[in-house]
Amino acid sequence: DAGVIQSPRHEVTEMGQEVTLRCKPISGHNSLFWYRQTMMRGLELLIYFNNNVPIDDSGMPEDRFSAKMPNASFSTLKIQPSEPRDSAVYFCASSLYSGGLTDTQYFGPGTRLTVL
Amino acid sequence: SQKIEQNSEALNIQEGKTATLTCNYTNYSPAYLQWYRQDPGRGPVFLLLIRENEKEKRKERLKVTFDTTLKQSLFHITASQPADSATYLCALPPWGSSNTGKLIFGQGTTLQVKP
């Protein structure tokens, strides 16, 4: 099993540019989560999907952030326009939803984003 | 609002000793709690899940306790090894969301095991 795959692993961009992060969840998993991790705020949930449908996007910081899941094997997180304060490590995680009481999450390796 | 508190100071112990990490939470009683390990430059990896009706859970050298009265979970690593050095995160479902699979993570405690 390949695990959760994220790309790119590192992204350096300039303020104002559009950034797209990609995630391929574990095959068969039906829940997908996007997190952001910084030293100051720790690991924060941005948005999660269940069966490709966005369930809770209350963690998305502002309208500059958007996420899509067009099918069960692919999701994107887009930042447009990017700002220096968006610099962080972005993780994607997937799980097999089974009523929520025993679900564990499998994380990808993360994308380290630096906005200059 | 609910809070999860983990000791922000790194825990330094000698190889062979037992490491004990603490996770405190406030304002509600979660149906379960999970512990994850995170190595530098990597994503968190699931270790153990303990439910509210379980007092203790073990897996090899790991032991987790869950005290719903104290609103606290303790994570123990016995016979610690330098390879156990990592950051350990506790996670629990947010209030009202026990059946969604959604988790809130603590800030984590960094463990350093010295040979």
pLDDT at residue B95 in the model: 77
B49, A95: Cβ pair inside 8 Å?
A: no
Does the structure show a pLDDT above 90 at B35? yes
pLDDT at residue B96 in the model: 72
pLDDT at residue B55 in the model: 87
* B57-114 confidence digits (pLDDT tens): 999 999 999 999 999 999 999 999 999 999 999 999 887 776 777 899 999 999 999 9
Measured in angstroms, the CA of A28 and the nearest CA of chain B are apart by 16
pLDDT at residue A61 in the model: 87
Q: What is the mean pLDDT of chain A?
A: 94
pLDDT at residue B29 in the model: 83
B94 to chain A: nearest residue by CA? A45
What's the whole-number mean pLDDT along residues A32-59? Answer: 94
What's the whole-number mean pLDDT along residues B1-28? Answer: 91
pLDDT at residue B92 in the model: 92
Distance CA B66, CA B107 (A): 18
B102, A43: Cβ pair inside 8 Å?
A: no
Distance from the Cα of residue B1 to its chain's centroid: 20
* Minimal Cβ distance to A100: which of B41, B45, B99: B99
B-chain residues near A48 (CB < 8 A) = 101-102
Contact present, A112 and A81 (Cβ < 8 Å): no
Contact present, A49 and A38 (Cβ < 8 Å): no
pLDDT at residue A100 in the model: 63
Distance from the Cα of residue B34 to its chain's centroid: 7
What's the whole-number mean pLDDT along residues A98-104? Answer: 73
Q: Does A100 touch chain B if contact means CB atoms closer than 8 Å?
A: yes
Angle at A39 between CA A45 and CA A29, to 5 degrees: 30
Q: Does A116 touch chain B if contact means CB atoms closer than 8 Å?
A: no
Measured in angstroms, the CA of B28 and the nearest CA of chain A are apart by 16
A9 to chain B: nearest residue by CA? B41
Query: With left for phi above 0 and alpha for psi between -120 and 50, is residue B15 left, alpha or beta?
Result: beta
Q: Does A56 touch chain B if contact means CB atoms closer than 8 Å?
A: yes
B-chain residues near A110 (CB < 8 A) = 41-43
A-chain residues near B106 (CB < 8 A) = 42
pLDDT at residue A93 in the model: 97
